[in-house]
Structure 1
Amino acid sequence: MSEQGKLTDVIMPQLAESLVSATIGKWLKKPGDTVEQYEPLCDLITDKVNAELPSTVDGTLVELLVEEGETVSVGAVIARIAVPVAGGSAPAGEASADADFAHTATQAAYGTVPAGTAPDADAPMRARYSPAVQTLAQQHNIDLTAVSGTGLGGRITRKDVLAYIESGAANRRPVRTAVAAAQPAAPSAAPSVQPALQIPPAAAKEMLEPVRHSGLHLSESPRIPTIEVESGQGSSSEYLIDVTPIRNTIATRMRQSVSEIPHAWTMIEVDMTNLVQLRHKLKDDFKRKEGINLTYLAFMMKAVVSAIKDYPIMNSVWAVDKIIVKRDINISLAVGTEDSVMTPVIKKADQKNIAGLAREIDELAQKTREGKLRLDDMQGGTFTVNNTGSFGSILSYPIINYPQAAILTFESIVKKPVVINDMIAVRSMANICLSLDHRILDGVICGRFLQRVKDNIESYTPDTKLY
């Protein structure tokens, strides 16, 4: 028992069955800070995703037992929180997190500064929301773009949302789109809430206009990495970039894939004209009904899944003295973030229709880019699909997602003159590239597989159903 209350241990949680340790990326609180239940204490870095470790109790952070950058085994005590005895808080034994923690696996974000500190004018962390903040916003139907953040880098904390609710502003303003102009909240006894930034009409119009692109299925501008660097010693002509744990894991897996798997590569050209017309016909109704974009990837993934059902050897792994063919078709979807590539998994993709695949693709891509992936989202993949055409690529040689047997990329859809019945016609064409594990797969089986994918894509008609 400390002077501040009963001490509660903060335990390194079991994030997943396959993980036995995690690295402390950054402490978001320091000794002496007051913490609330569900408020993030630190960033955890694993081989697959980054996660925030939330507090399970209200109290005061008393002691940090682990330094930033230190790797800790599951079950180890990493900090202690003093819980006021009079508050009737849960005993220390209940402070350890369990597998349910996985839903808080958000990408690493920097925490809050002590109360009363002015927010960073540039607000680089404003759009990074913790699970507690998101839950409150959903419960009270709050547009978080209207809430002023007092956390480090302008980040919105749970206290900010509660102050916004107490001010009554949440009941006076409807939920708005990201480009709607913000109206200032009325003053009240609660902490003052600054209005959201006003967006000029010209900027708002620009945000609503379609992006320019070179490929027909590029839906957003390619993301450019934002990396913190430090100057190289003794030279102004170079700088150093620290290798993050996730980047180090990617390097290890890629090196393992290239060194252990004898890669081979093949490609086929597909006429996408019918698919382009079908998507154009259905996309507006689908957007109104589902609230998400109907992308080409959903149609092409359906074609791949159907082909894997015809050639199940594509859905296998090498096990030295045997080849293991997976019964479930779990498609790993390569999604690029600002500083890495993640491969969340669409489980049992063969049991989903085109609309179901479109929903899964949109959800996983959004969760990946917002740093909200759970560890379960990253596990169990049996075959990888990559939409390299989304940034204009027309030809690529992908590295296999170890230990899978193959990876397939869809390249950009471009209009080309082609010969049909001895006549030249302009058609929408795309390349499909396949890298294969030559220990398991040979050219014949992969050629037939790609031909089946091609046939499936070219067989789409105006009467094809999404559901």
Structure 2
Amino acid sequence: KVDSEIPTPVPGTIVELLSAEGDTIEVGLPIAIIETEAAGVAAPPAEKKEEESVADKKRSAEPPAAPAVKSTAPKSTGDRFYSPVVMNIAAENGVSMEELETITGSGINGRVTKKDILAYLKTRGTAPARQPAILSFKAGEVEVIPLDNMRRKIAEHMIHSKQTSAHVSLYTEVDMHNIFRIRQRNKTVFKKQQGFNLTYMPFIVEATVKALKEYPLLNAQMNEDNILLKHFYNIGIAVAVKNGLIVPNIFNAEEKSLVGLARAIHDLAVRARDKKLQPDELANGTFSISNFGVYGTTIGFPIINQPQVAILGVGAVKKRPLVIDDAIAIRPVMYLALTIDHRIIDGAMGSQFLECVRDFLEQYDPEMDI
């Protein structure tokens, strides 16, 4: 995230660039050739040339002496320097300083490069795994519950997401007064016509899709060095089921009306709990929403559903004091949380998207009929 201007170590003219803009260069390698004023100095006499050539050969056969380097980076007792990148990779993979010193470096003066430690980690994984400590309890103190397949898959998916995306979370509060009035006015007729209750979720999904159109980068995914920007909106709805959680999708949510979204959300929830979902309904989502507010939770920060780059968390709607026109009013308030992948979405864009969702929710006409 740093764009720095590096001054030249000597005055002169650049005569050749050895790297192109955007290239990744190993620490210590030259990036350009600079012609200095000293370049015009006359060459030594010819009779000494052969003598110096022999001396150069002898010097090249000897291993170069390592220069003394002072660094504020963590280092071993042998004063071996490690770059921040190498240290971060070591920390993430539990590589101790003692273990780091055993790695043979291919960089300048034997320095361990990023490639060196990544190559080491590949072979390190083939070593026998350290056996966990044996725990002992008295009879009846502990019940052993084996992980079922769903819980195991959830665990793997969540760990993979945390190791893949740079999670950053934001939240805002939403005045749900207008939507509350819409529900109150329409809930009886809606229940009679549709056979289920009108909830806040279709409003939230509709507002989210509108906001995604304004900020399309949140409807994307990472693919190695590319960003895949999707122009369709398959919204995943997290549904709690027995012993787990699944996220079926509302496909092409942008094409559905508010009532159509309500039907789709209800249908997915019912079929998810009855184990009647089709496998393709759990794939190809572009953005997910987790509604933990149904259990009364005020706020939470969900983990991104890979390979997506953002997820919205919905808290419970509760009455709270709000300042409106310099007066305190009691309003139904909901907290919305957004978790973004900081690799491609910055805090500014995440905040703008979240406020865009809030604006759409607060702008519903309280007199509208459904």
TM-score by length of 2: 0.62
Question: Structure 1, residues 327-366: CA drift from partner, whole Å, max 9, x if none?
Answer: 1100010000120000001000011011000000000000
Counterpart position of 2:201: 297
Counterpart position of 1:430: 334
Question: Structure 1, residues 130-159: CA drift from partner, whole Å, max 9, x if none?
Answer: xxxxxxxxxxxxxxxxxxxxxxxxxxxxxx
How far apart, in 2, do the equivalents of 1:268 and 1:234 lie? 48
Q: Match for 2:254 among 326, 350, 357?
A: 350
Counterpart position of 1:241: 145
Counterpart position of 1:415: 319
How far apart, in 2, do the equivalents of 1:253 and 1:426 lie? 41
Cα displacement (A) at 1:462: 2.6
1:378 to 2:282 alignment: yes
**Equivalent AA in structure 1 for residue 218 of structure 2:** M
* % same residue: 37
Q: Match for 1:258 among 142, 157, 162?
A: 162
Counterpart position of 2:216: 312
How far apart, in 2, do the equivalents of 1:453 and 1:304 lie? 6
Larger radius of gyration: 2
Cα displacement (A) at 1:268: 0.7
Counterpart position of 2:127: none
How far apart, in 2, do the equivalents of 1:250 and 1:373 lie? 17
Which structure has the highest helix share of the two? 2
Counterpart position of 1:23: none
Counterpart position of 1:403: 307
1:270 to 2:174 alignment: yes
How far apart, in 1, do the equivalents of 2:172 and 2:258 lie? 23
Counterpart position of 1:284: 188
Cα displacement (A) at 1:296: 0.7
Q: Which has the higher contact order (CA 8 A, sep 6+)?
A: 2
Cα displacement (A) at 1:395: 1.1
For structure 1, list consecutive stretches of 5 or more residues without a partner in the other structure: 1-231
Cα displacement (A) at 1:376: 1.6
C-alpha RMSD of the superposition: 1.3
For structure 2, list consecutive stretches of 5 or more residues without a partner in the other structure: 1-135
Q: Match for 2:297 among 393, 397, 404?
A: 393
Conservation of the 8 A alpha-carbon contact between 2:315 and 2:334:
yes
How far apart, in 1, do the equivalents of 2:187 and 2:280 lie? 30
Counterpart position of 1:27: none
Counterpart position of 2:232: 328
Question: Structure 1, residues 133-192: CA drift from partner, whole Å, max 9, x if none?
Answer: xxxxxxxxxxxxxxxxxxxxxxxxxxxxxxxxxxxxxxxxxxxxxxxxxxxxxxxxxxxx
1:452 to 2:320 alignment: no
How far apart, in 1, do the equivalents of 2:368 and 2:338 lie? 26
Conservation of the 8 A alpha-carbon contact between 2:220 and 2:286:
yes
How far apart, in 1, do the equivalents of 2:138 and 2:293 lie? 42
Conservation of the 8 A alpha-carbon contact between 2:186 and 2:369:
no
How far apart, in 1, do the equivalents of 2:159 and 2:253 lie? 28
Q: Match for 1:461 among 340, 365, 369?
A: 365
Aligned residues: 235
Question: Structure 1, residues 307-342: CA drift from partner, whole Å, max 9, x if none?
Answer: 111111110111121111111100010000120000
How far apart, in 2, do the equivalents of 1:442 and 1:293 lie? 37
How far apart, in 2, do the equivalents of 1:464 and 1:405 lie? 34
Give secondary structure in 2 for the equivalent of 1:239.
coil
